Amino acid sequence: MRSLPARHHARLLAAVTVGVCIPDQLTKAWVRAHLDVGERRPLVAGAVELLHTENRGMAWGLLDGHPLRLPVVTVVSLLTLVVVLGWFVRLRPDERALAWSFGLVLAGAAGNFIDRLLYRRVTDFVELLGGGIFGVFNVADVAISCGLLGFAALAVRGRAIPPGLEAP
């Protein structure tokens, strides 16, 4: 039987979660306290602006305004957390890069889930000017994106098969 991550990856997950969730929640609280929804402030002239938006749906506002939005988003969020955590607890001690990738995804998902639980919406506030493909995002979104990029990089190298899905 594999040893559980309590022995080899639990501290990493705790550190990544704290390292993502605290700045994520602090920056969102600052934005909610200092910017009205829709208000913009330049952060880096011509490159980055703060823009206070509220995402009541999923990524890129999917399901925003739909009557079943909250239950669907909640179920999808919880399922994502359970599946990724299920993969995480099966990681071997030598799969540290995969632990980082899963840890970043879990921490980011937790940061946005906290918003949904407390406010029924996610606060987004960073907009890259001229980079419209990214939309408006937050610290948790960056963690999720970095985790997914890490996972993709490992997959390209053949080193990112989620535990339990490998060939017999």
CA dihedral 52, 119, 89, 18 (to 10 degrees): 60
Q: Please tell me the distance from the alpha carbon of residue 3 to that of residue 64, in angstroms, as a whole number.
A: 42
In the residue annotation, 115 being an active-site residue is answered as no
Residue with tokens 């993502």: 20
Q: Average pLDDT of each block of 10 consecutive residues along the chain (168 residues)?
A: 58 92 98 96 89 76 60 76 82 86 92 90 88 81 93 78 53
Q: What is the pTM of this model?
A: 0.80
**Of residues 36, 94, 115, 141, which has the active-site annotation?**
141
Helix (H) or strand (E) run with residue 110 in it: helix 96-119
Distance of CA 94 to the CA centre of its chain: 24
CB 90 within 8 A of CB 143: no
